[in-house]
Structure formats: C-alpha cells, structure tokens
Chain A
Amino acid sequence: EVQLVESGGGLMQPGGSLRLSCAASGFTFSTYGMSWVRQAPGKGLECVSTISDSGTTTPYADSVKGRYTISRDNSRNTVYLQLNSLTAEDTAIYYCARARVAGTGSYYMDVWGKGTTVTVSS
C-alpha cells in the first residue's frame, strides 16, 4: 500500500524553527518527486516546495522563500521540510504529497499524507 506519514508538527514560538518529516512506503521513493502543501485554518491549498527525484528543489510560495528548505534522504525514504523564522502566518496543516512530473516540468500530486499541524503562537 502506498503511504505517506508526516511527523514533526507542534506548537512553536514566533521566530522558532522546526523540521517536518514525511516517511514514504509502498513505492520506489527515489523515482518520484515529493511536495509539501500547506493549508491554513479555513483556507485553501498552497504548495510551498517540491523536490524532484534527482534533488532539484522548487520553492513556490514567495512567503516562504529563504525560510523553508525541502530535502530528501532516499536511503530513508523520507522527505523533510525545514521551517525557520516562523510567524503566525505559518500556522497550517502541512501535507506531504507524491509529485508526478508532467511534460511541462511541473507537478501534480497523486498521493497525500494525512498531514501534520504546525501552530505558531506566543
């Protein structure tokens, strides 16, 4: 069974840092891109970053550029998202998703984890 399990969320102080993890199973992890998509309370979906199978990263959200870093460890079948300089606007559910590359070079997401919640508050 294809599965993605996120972890690492929690309650954080403004200005803090956090690393989210997503453990993948049931497919050949090293051959797929992976994305992190977030959803603020009561809001829509926002893709924050994608990493290709070969490790090329693409940040999508201007609000996180320079603060978030996506990475992957194919030996552990795990993708990470490092979040720095957190603000209240980073409060969201963070979903890990398997990213399918299209001929355009961009991605859509065909498998999603259940998400991990990040709350930033003093």
Chain B
Amino acid sequence: EIVLTQSPGTLSLSPGERATLSCRASQSVGSSSLAWYQQKPGQAPRLLISGASSRATGIPDRFSGSGSGTDFTLTISRLEPEDFAVYYCQQYGSSLTFGGGTKVEIK
C-alpha cells in the first residue's frame, strides 16, 4: 500500500499569502495519479486537482498542483478568506489511499 504523508500538519498564514502544501508518497505514484481535495468544516470534500496538475471544473487558477514520482505539491498563490480549510491528497496509481491532511488556518 502506498502511504501518503502530508506536511506540514498545520499551516498558519494570512490572507494574500502563498501556501505551499506537500504530499510525499512511500513509493512512486504511477502516471502522476494524484488528486487534491479541499474540505471546509461541516462540508464534504471537493475535488481541486487530478492528474497531479489538472484543475477540476470551476476551481480558481490560484490553485495549482505539481510534482511526480513521490513528491507532489499544492500551491495556493494568494490565499482568499474562503481558502482556509483542510486539504487532502489522494493517490490512485496503485489502489487508492489518502494522506492525513494539512490544515490551512488564519494566522
């Protein structure tokens, strides 16, 4: 099973700042099969990124994904108030597993 480790656990930033979230896999994720989700309190997760870098429909371009192999990154170029949430990565290159999440909180 591919284990995904997300870091940091919590990111404290101010609106307008840049957020960089990491997702590291225990082994190579085939075909860049990595997705990112956003979850706000009391809400269901929402797909942001699939294929490591393809934004889902309706996702603002301040969200971008990059990486391959074992190291992936979600970048939020300028944080908006609605971006403070928990973010999960998920690999689907070999079976399916989620990372433990990164909380982006207001500093």
Nearest to A105 among chain B residues (CB) is B92
Determine if A44 is an interface residue (Cβ-Cβ < 8 Å): yes
Q: Is the CB of A106 within 8 A of B50?
A: no
- Which residues of the partner chain B approach A102 to less than 8 Å between Cβ atoms? 31, 33, 51, 92
Determine if A27 is an interface residue (Cβ-Cβ < 8 Å): no
Q: Is the CB of B47 within 8 A of A108?
A: yes
Instruction: Give the docked Cα–Cα distance between A110 and B92 (Å).
Output: 13
Q: Is the CB of A107 within 8 A of B92?
A: yes
Give the one of B33, B99, B101 with max A CB within 10 A: B33
Q: How many residues of A contact B (CB 8 A)?
A: 23
- Which residues of the partner chain A approach B39 to less than 8 Å between Cβ atoms? 45
- Which residues of the partner chain A approach B104 to less than 8 Å between Cβ atoms? none
- Which residues of the partner chain B approach A104 to less than 8 Å between Cβ atoms? 30-31, 33, 92-94
Instruction: Give A73-122 interface residues, CB cut-off 8 Å to B.
Output: 95, 100, 102-104, 106-115
Partner of B45, one of A45, A58, A103, A107: A45
Instruction: Give the docked Cα–Cα distance between A77 and B35 (Å).
Output: 26
- Which residues of the partner chain A approach B37 to less than 8 Å between Cβ atoms? 45, 109
Q: Is the CB of A107 within 8 A of B46?
A: no
Q: Is the contact region of chain A dominated by helix, strand, or loop, or is it mixed?
A: strand
- Which residues of the partner chain B approach A60 to less than 8 Å between Cβ atoms? 95-97
CB within 8 Å for A108 and B98 given contacts A44-B88, A45-B88: no
Instruction: Give B27-84 interface residues, CB cut-off 8 Å to A.
Output: 30-31, 33, 35, 37, 39, 43-47, 50-51, 56
Interface residues of B (CB under 8 A from A): 30-31, 33, 35, 37, 39, 43-47, 50-51, 56, 88, 90, 92-101
Could you list 12 A-B pairs, sorted by A, with CB under 8 Å? A45-B98, A58-B95, A100-B50, A103-B33, A107-B96, A108-B33, A108-B35, A108-B90, A108-B92, A109-B35, A112-B46, A114-B43
Contacts A44-B88, A113-B44 known; 9 new A-B pairs at CB < 8 A: A45-B88, A45-B101, A102-B92, A104-B31, A106-B95, A109-B37, A109-B47, A110-B47, A112-B45
